[in-house]
Copies of this chain bind each other. A is one copy, B any other.
Amino acid sequence: MEDMYEDGYTPPILTVDTVIFQIIDDEFYVLLIKRAADPFKGAYALPGGYNAIGETTREAMERTLLTKTGVNCADLRLVEQLYTFDTVARDPRGHAVSVTYMGLGRDIVPAESDKTQNPGFFNVRELPELAYDHKHIIEYAHDRIKSKITYTNAIFSLLPELFTLTQLQKAYETVFGRELDKRNFRKKFLSLNLIHETSELHRDGAHRPAKLYRFNKQELEALARSFD
Protein backbone atom coordinates (compact mmCIF):
# COMPACT_ATOMS: atom_id res chain seq x y z
CA MET A 1 0.00 0.00 0.00
CA GLU A 2 2.81 2.40 0.76
CA ASP A 3 5.26 1.52 -1.95
CA MET A 4 3.66 2.76 -5.08
CA TYR A 5 6.79 4.81 -5.54
CA GLU A 6 10.10 3.01 -5.25
CA ASP A 7 11.34 4.94 -2.25
CA GLY A 8 8.22 4.54 -0.19
CA TYR A 9 6.95 8.03 -0.82
CA THR A 10 3.19 8.36 -0.75
CA PRO A 11 1.71 11.67 -1.81
CA PRO A 12 -1.44 13.16 -0.29
CA ILE A 13 -4.67 13.45 -2.19
CA LEU A 14 -4.57 16.24 -4.77
CA THR A 15 -7.71 17.94 -6.01
CA VAL A 16 -8.63 20.98 -8.04
CA ASP A 17 -11.55 23.36 -7.57
CA THR A 18 -12.65 26.04 -9.96
CA VAL A 19 -14.42 29.37 -9.46
CA ILE A 20 -16.13 30.43 -12.69
CA PHE A 21 -17.58 33.94 -12.68
CA GLN A 22 -19.72 35.72 -15.21
CA ILE A 23 -21.96 38.74 -15.29
CA ILE A 24 -25.66 38.16 -15.98
CA ASP A 25 -28.04 41.12 -16.03
CA ASP A 26 -25.61 43.35 -14.18
CA GLU A 27 -25.18 40.85 -11.36
CA PHE A 28 -22.14 38.74 -10.57
CA TYR A 29 -22.66 34.98 -10.77
CA VAL A 30 -20.59 31.94 -9.83
CA LEU A 31 -20.89 28.41 -11.18
CA LEU A 32 -21.84 25.74 -8.62
CA ILE A 33 -22.88 22.12 -8.68
CA LYS A 34 -25.05 20.16 -6.34
CA ARG A 35 -23.11 17.36 -4.75
CA ALA A 36 -24.43 13.92 -5.62
CA ALA A 37 -22.47 12.03 -3.00
CA ASP A 38 -21.22 12.33 0.52
CA PRO A 39 -19.58 14.21 2.06
CA PHE A 40 -21.92 17.18 1.80
CA LYS A 41 -24.37 15.23 -0.35
CA GLY A 42 -27.04 17.60 -1.59
CA ALA A 43 -25.06 20.73 -0.74
CA TYR A 44 -23.72 23.09 -3.36
CA ALA A 45 -20.05 23.19 -4.15
CA LEU A 46 -17.50 24.46 -6.62
CA PRO A 47 -16.86 22.12 -9.53
CA GLY A 48 -13.68 20.16 -9.02
CA GLY A 49 -12.25 16.75 -8.49
CA TYR A 50 -9.20 14.61 -8.24
CA ASN A 51 -5.98 15.44 -9.99
CA ALA A 52 -4.86 12.21 -11.60
CA ILE A 53 -1.26 11.28 -12.09
CA GLY A 54 0.19 12.45 -15.36
CA GLU A 55 -2.00 15.51 -15.75
CA THR A 56 -1.20 19.06 -14.75
CA THR A 57 -3.49 20.84 -12.31
CA ARG A 58 -4.64 22.98 -15.21
CA GLU A 59 -5.54 19.87 -17.19
CA ALA A 60 -7.33 18.38 -14.20
CA MET A 61 -9.24 21.65 -13.85
CA GLU A 62 -10.31 21.61 -17.51
CA ARG A 63 -11.30 17.97 -17.31
CA THR A 64 -13.32 18.21 -14.11
CA LEU A 65 -14.99 21.43 -15.22
CA LEU A 66 -16.15 19.81 -18.43
CA THR A 67 -17.25 16.61 -16.74
CA LYS A 68 -19.13 18.20 -13.90
CA THR A 69 -20.61 21.29 -15.54
CA GLY A 70 -20.32 20.83 -19.28
CA VAL A 71 -18.35 24.07 -19.49
CA ASN A 72 -15.45 24.00 -21.88
CA CYS A 73 -12.46 25.84 -20.56
CA ALA A 74 -11.71 27.12 -24.06
CA ASP A 75 -14.89 29.18 -23.87
CA LEU A 76 -13.52 31.14 -20.93
CA ARG A 77 -11.73 34.38 -21.62
CA LEU A 78 -9.38 34.39 -18.66
CA VAL A 79 -8.19 31.59 -16.40
CA GLU A 80 -5.69 31.87 -13.60
CA GLN A 81 -4.55 29.91 -10.63
CA LEU A 82 -5.77 31.33 -7.34
CA TYR A 83 -4.29 29.60 -4.34
CA THR A 84 -3.69 26.13 -2.97
CA PHE A 85 -5.79 25.23 0.04
CA ASP A 86 -4.79 22.59 2.53
CA THR A 87 -7.91 22.99 4.55
CA VAL A 88 -10.34 21.43 2.14
CA ALA A 89 -11.11 18.00 3.54
CA ARG A 90 -12.62 16.86 0.27
CA ASP A 91 -11.94 13.28 1.00
CA PRO A 92 -13.02 11.36 4.06
CA ARG A 93 -9.91 9.25 3.62
CA GLY A 94 -7.86 12.09 4.94
CA HIS A 95 -6.03 15.26 4.30
CA ALA A 96 -6.34 16.68 0.81
CA VAL A 97 -4.65 19.53 -1.00
CA SER A 98 -6.76 21.55 -3.40
CA VAL A 99 -5.32 23.77 -6.12
CA THR A 100 -7.92 26.39 -7.06
CA TYR A 101 -8.43 28.26 -10.29
CA MET A 102 -10.55 31.24 -11.28
CA GLY A 103 -12.15 31.50 -14.72
CA LEU A 104 -13.97 34.46 -16.24
CA GLY A 105 -16.19 34.51 -19.27
CA ARG A 106 -19.39 35.61 -20.87
CA ASP A 107 -22.52 33.78 -21.98
CA ILE A 108 -21.27 30.59 -20.39
CA VAL A 109 -23.99 27.95 -20.37
CA PRO A 110 -23.55 24.85 -18.22
CA ALA A 111 -24.83 21.66 -19.78
CA GLU A 112 -27.40 19.58 -17.98
CA SER A 113 -26.91 15.87 -18.56
CA ASP A 114 -26.61 12.60 -16.72
CA LYS A 115 -22.95 13.09 -16.15
CA THR A 116 -23.23 16.65 -14.98
CA GLN A 117 -24.12 17.40 -11.43
CA ASN A 118 -26.89 20.01 -11.65
CA PRO A 119 -24.57 22.82 -12.59
CA GLY A 120 -25.88 26.37 -12.45
CA PHE A 121 -24.89 29.96 -11.92
CA PHE A 122 -25.69 31.58 -8.57
CA ASN A 123 -25.70 35.24 -7.69
CA VAL A 124 -22.71 35.81 -5.44
CA ARG A 125 -24.89 38.04 -3.26
CA GLU A 126 -27.30 35.20 -2.55
CA LEU A 127 -25.24 32.05 -2.28
CA PRO A 128 -26.76 28.83 -0.98
CA GLU A 129 -25.12 26.79 1.76
CA LEU A 130 -21.80 25.60 0.44
CA ALA A 131 -19.77 22.47 1.07
CA TYR A 132 -16.24 22.52 2.50
CA ASP A 133 -14.71 25.98 2.72
CA HIS A 134 -15.97 26.86 -0.73
CA LYS A 135 -17.60 30.05 0.46
CA HIS A 136 -14.19 31.22 1.58
CA ILE A 137 -12.66 30.26 -1.77
CA ILE A 138 -15.33 32.20 -3.66
CA GLU A 139 -14.68 35.28 -1.51
CA TYR A 140 -10.97 34.89 -2.12
CA ALA A 141 -11.56 34.72 -5.87
CA HIS A 142 -13.92 37.68 -5.77
CA ASP A 143 -11.32 39.76 -3.92
CA ARG A 144 -8.74 38.73 -6.48
CA ILE A 145 -10.79 39.84 -9.46
CA LYS A 146 -11.82 43.09 -7.75
CA SER A 147 -8.17 43.83 -7.29
CA LYS A 148 -7.12 42.58 -10.71
CA ILE A 149 -9.43 44.88 -12.66
CA THR A 150 -7.82 47.87 -10.96
CA TYR A 151 -4.36 47.21 -12.35
CA THR A 152 -5.00 45.17 -15.50
CA ASN A 153 -7.43 45.10 -18.43
CA ALA A 154 -8.98 41.90 -17.00
CA ILE A 155 -12.49 43.34 -17.33
CA PHE A 156 -12.36 42.47 -21.04
CA SER A 157 -13.02 38.88 -20.07
CA LEU A 158 -16.47 39.75 -18.74
CA LEU A 159 -17.58 41.88 -21.69
CA PRO A 160 -18.60 41.18 -25.29
CA GLU A 161 -16.13 42.08 -27.99
CA LEU A 162 -18.02 45.29 -28.76
CA PHE A 163 -19.40 47.20 -25.81
CA THR A 164 -20.51 50.65 -24.77
CA LEU A 165 -18.86 52.73 -22.09
CA THR A 166 -21.98 52.30 -20.00
CA GLN A 167 -21.67 48.52 -20.25
CA LEU A 168 -18.01 48.79 -19.30
CA GLN A 169 -18.84 50.91 -16.29
CA LYS A 170 -21.63 48.54 -15.26
CA ALA A 171 -19.19 45.63 -15.43
CA TYR A 172 -16.87 47.42 -13.02
CA GLU A 173 -19.78 48.28 -10.77
CA THR A 174 -20.97 44.68 -10.80
CA VAL A 175 -17.59 43.30 -9.79
CA PHE A 176 -16.95 46.02 -7.21
CA GLY A 177 -20.48 45.93 -5.90
CA ARG A 178 -20.65 49.73 -5.81
CA GLU A 179 -21.45 52.60 -8.14
CA LEU A 180 -18.92 54.77 -9.91
CA ASP A 181 -19.13 58.32 -11.20
CA LYS A 182 -19.85 58.36 -14.92
CA ARG A 183 -17.69 61.31 -15.95
CA ASN A 184 -14.73 60.37 -13.78
CA PHE A 185 -14.93 56.77 -14.89
CA ARG A 186 -14.86 57.65 -18.59
CA LYS A 187 -12.12 60.22 -18.25
CA LYS A 188 -9.92 57.84 -16.31
CA PHE A 189 -10.57 54.70 -18.31
CA LEU A 190 -10.10 56.36 -21.67
CA SER A 191 -6.79 57.80 -20.52
CA LEU A 192 -5.49 54.24 -20.06
CA ASN A 193 -5.61 53.62 -23.81
CA LEU A 194 -6.84 50.06 -23.44
CA ILE A 195 -9.82 50.45 -25.75
CA HIS A 196 -10.64 52.24 -28.97
CA GLU A 197 -13.85 53.56 -30.44
CA THR A 198 -15.37 51.77 -33.43
CA SER A 199 -17.61 53.25 -36.10
CA GLU A 200 -20.51 51.16 -34.89
CA LEU A 201 -23.34 52.26 -32.68
CA HIS A 202 -25.41 50.40 -30.16
CA ARG A 203 -29.15 51.12 -30.56
CA ASP A 204 -31.16 49.97 -27.64
CA GLY A 205 -34.44 51.78 -27.23
CA ALA A 206 -35.91 55.23 -27.40
CA HIS A 207 -32.77 57.20 -26.67
CA ARG A 208 -29.49 58.36 -28.06
CA PRO A 209 -27.41 55.43 -29.41
CA ALA A 210 -24.05 54.70 -27.79
CA LYS A 211 -20.70 54.34 -29.49
CA LEU A 212 -19.29 50.85 -29.41
CA TYR A 213 -15.72 50.26 -28.23
CA ARG A 214 -13.31 47.39 -28.55
CA PHE A 215 -10.31 46.33 -26.42
CA ASN A 216 -6.96 46.77 -28.10
CA LYS A 217 -5.93 43.37 -26.83
CA GLN A 218 -7.99 40.41 -25.68
CA GLU A 219 -5.14 39.24 -23.49
CA LEU A 220 -4.28 40.24 -19.99
CA GLU A 221 -2.07 43.30 -19.79
CA ALA A 222 -1.00 45.33 -16.80
CA LEU A 223 -1.74 49.03 -16.64
CA ALA A 224 0.82 51.74 -16.28
CA ARG A 225 -1.46 53.37 -13.73
CA SER A 226 -3.90 51.66 -11.46
CA PHE A 227 -7.58 52.12 -11.95
CA ASP A 228 -10.27 52.78 -9.41
Contact = CB atoms under 8 A, between A and B. Distances in A.
Interface of A: 1-2, 4-6, 9-14, 50-58, 81, 83-84, 86, 93-95, 97, 99, 226
Contact of A4 (B1, B58, B99, B226): B1
Contacts of A54: 12, 94-95
Contacts of A84: 57, 81, 84, 99
Contact of A97 (B1, B9, B99): B99
Nearest to A54: B95
The dominant DSSP class at the A interface is loop
B99 A51 contact: no
Q: Which of A9, A57, A93 has the most CB of B within 10 A?
A: A9
A31 to B, nearest CB: 21
A86 B11 contact: no
Contacts of A97: 14, 51, 56-57, 99
Contacts of A55: 12, 95
Given A12-B53, A14-B97, 13 more contacts: A1-B4, A4-B4, A9-B13, A11-B13, A12-B14, A12-B55, A51-B97, A54-B95, A56-B86, A56-B97, A57-B86, A81-B83, A81-B84
